Amino acid sequence: MSTVIRLLKIAGQPIHLHESAELRQRYRRIMAKDVGRLGDGSLQIQNGWAGAVKLSTEIQGTGPVPAGLWAFDFGSPLLLSCVEPWAIDVAAGTLSVDLPAGRRTDAGSLPFARAFKGTRLVEPLTVTMTVNTASWSAVLGATGYQVICFPEITASINPPDVEMASRGNRYGWSMSAEEI
């Protein structure tokens, strides 16, 4: 598999490699879930948004030039094309899985799968997409599969925090976002 440099994009605008030479992204699933204890000590779980899961992300980048993030209107929802993979593990014998509708479809960011054979990893497997369902062919002896996609969400993005090292040419930035 060839090396792909996937760029973070905000509203379709790439954050260039020199602005994010080192990039970290963390995901967290958010749900309308409340956990509390009753007077007798028993656990009570209340769920809202039946079945809906939203994504929250934190992104940090550093590079030799400052990131040009100030032109974005952070007061409005923006399309965020993420760079870190979203992985879904699937049991052996299962040859399809539903992926989030909000995922990147640009070159180098299409969903792919890989098979596990014990502790060995076999990659990549070609994935066929039918709407939001990814399917692939069985691998003889596979003990499980993993499907990878890259989220693309409409999000409320908080304005970035920026910094510069007092010595050297290192600029840093961080921001957080929640799916609308």
Per residue in 25-70, pLDDT tens?
999 988 877 888 999 999 998 877 666 678 999 999 999 988 889 8
- 74 with 94, same domain? no
pTM: 0.85
Same domain, 16 and 98: no
Residue-range definition of the domain harbouring residue 98: 85-149
- Average of per-residue pLDDT across 122-137: 92
| Number of domains into which the chain is organized | 2
**Assigned domain for 5 exists:** no
Answer yes or no: do 64 and 101 share one domain.
Answer: no
How many CA atoms does the CB half-sphere of 168 hold within 13 Å?
A: 8
User: Per residue in 88-104, pLDDT tens?
Assistant: 999 999 999 999 889 99
121 and 90 within one domain: yes
Same-domain status, 37 and 20: yes
User: Average pLDDT of the chain?
Assistant: 91
| Domain co-membership, 68 together with 98 | no
User: Do 47 and 131 lie in a common domain?
Assistant: no
18: helix, coil or strand?
Answer: helix
